[in-house]
Amino acid sequence: MSPRTPRRVRRPGPKPARPALRDVLALGAVGLRARRARAALSALGIAIGIATMVAVIGVSHSSTSDLMARLDRLGTNLLTVEAGEERDGTPVKLPKSAVAMVERIGPVQQATATGHVDARIRRSDLVPEERAPGVTAQAARTDLLAALNAEMARGTWLNSANERLPVTVLGSVAARRLGVTAPGEKIRMGDEYVVVVGILAPVELVPTLDRVALVGFPAARTYFGFDGHPTMIFERSPDATVEDVRAVLARTVSPGAEHGVKVSRPSDALAAKAATDEGLTALMLGLGAVALLVGAVGVANTMIVSVLERRREIGLRRALGATRNAIRIQFLTESLLLSAVGGAAGAAIGSAATLGFARFQGWT
C-alpha cells in the first residue's frame, strides 16, 4: 500500500485593509484639486440648477405668503355691484335707496356706494379740456374708506363736516397725474375749483378708485348736478354667507333688471393672481430641474474622463494592492464631493437671491 500523500491546507491570505473615511475623503479631494478648472465648471453646473430651484421656490413662497397676508388684511368678504346696461343697451340706473336696500339683507355688515359725477378734472384753467389727465370724478359716502379697509396716504378722508363743501380726496394715481403732492392744493372740477383735503393710498381691492377724484354726495349734488343714483355699491358680510348674499344682490338693488348689473368679488382677482404665480413657479421649477440634470451629466462626464485619463494611476494602485472596490469608492467620493460643493454653493446663492428679492419687494 502506497503511503498517503499529505493534503495541502490553504491558508487564507491577508485581507485588504479598508481605508478609513478620513483617508477616502482626503483621496477624493486630492483628485479634485489636481483638476481644479474642470471640477469648478462641473460644480458650477450643479450650483446653477440648485440655485434656480431654491430661488424659484423661495420667491414663489414669499410672494404667495405676502399675497395671502394682503388678502387676510383686506378681507375676502367684499362684494361689489356695478350698474351696467340692459340687453337692449339701455343704461341701468340703480335706485337712490340701493344702499339701504342692501343693508336690509340679513347677513350684511357694511354697505356703501359711489356714483359717477359728470365733471372734467383738470389741474387748472390753463390746461385745455381736451388734454385732461384721465381722472374721473365720483361721489362717495363717508363710510367708503372703512368699508374698503383703505388707508389715507396724506390728509383726511371725507366726513360729516366737509362732505357738503367743494373739497375732494384724490386716488394715488389721480394725484400723480394732476401733480398734486400735498393736501391744500386746488384743482379744477368742471366749472368749480375744489380743495384737495386728502390723497388715498393705493386701494388694492378696487384699483379703479386710484384714478378718481372723490367728493361727498351732498357736495356732488350741490356743485356738479349729481342725480344721487349710485353706480357702484360695496358690501361686506361674514365669509360664510358671501355666496348667499351674492346670489340675491342683483335682484335686491335692481328688481326686474338684475341682468343689467354686475356682481363681483374683488378678492377673486388676487386669488387668480396666486394661481397664476403657482403655474409660473411650476414652469420655473421645470427649467431648474433641466439645469440640474445638465449639471449632473456634467459631473458624470467629468468622472468618466477622469477615469480614462488616470489609468496609469489606477494600475499603479492596483499593483500596490488596492481592490476594485477601493478604486470605485475613490471615484465615487470625488463625484460626491463635487456634487456637494456645487449643491452647497447653489443653495447659498439661491437663498441669498430669495432674501434679497423678498426684502426689495417688502415680502415675507
Residue with cell 350684511: 108
Angle (nearest 5°) at CA 233 between 227 and 238: 155
Beta-carbon contacts of 322 under 8 Å, excluding residues fewer than 6 positions away, are 16
Q: Coil, strand, or helix at residue 83?
A: strand
Give the side-chain half-sphere CA count within 13 A for 96: 6
What's residue 278's pLDDT?
Answer: 62
Residue with cell 359716502: 141
What's residue 18's pLDDT?
Answer: 67
Q: Report residue 338 CA to chain centroid gap.
A: 35
What's residue 280's pLDDT?
Answer: 66
Give the pLDDT means over successive 10-residue stretches in the chain (364 positions).
58 62 72 74 79 82 75 73 76 87 89 92 76 85 91 93 94 92 91 93 88 95 92 88 86 80 74 61 71 73 75 81 80 82 89 90 79
Q: Report residue 211 CA to chain centroid gap.
A: 23
- Tell me the backbone φ, ψ of residue 263, rounded to 5 degrees: -105, 125
Residue type, 199: I
Cα dihedral sign, 81-84-90-96: positive
Q: What is the pLDDT of residues 119-163, one digit of tens each?
A: 989 888 776 666 667 889 999 999 999 888 889 999 999 999 999
Distance (Å, whole) CA 210 – CA 200: 7
Q: Which helix (H) or strand (E) holds 6?
A: none
Among 121, 123, 133, 100, CA closest to 215: 121
Q: What is the pTM of this model?
A: 0.62
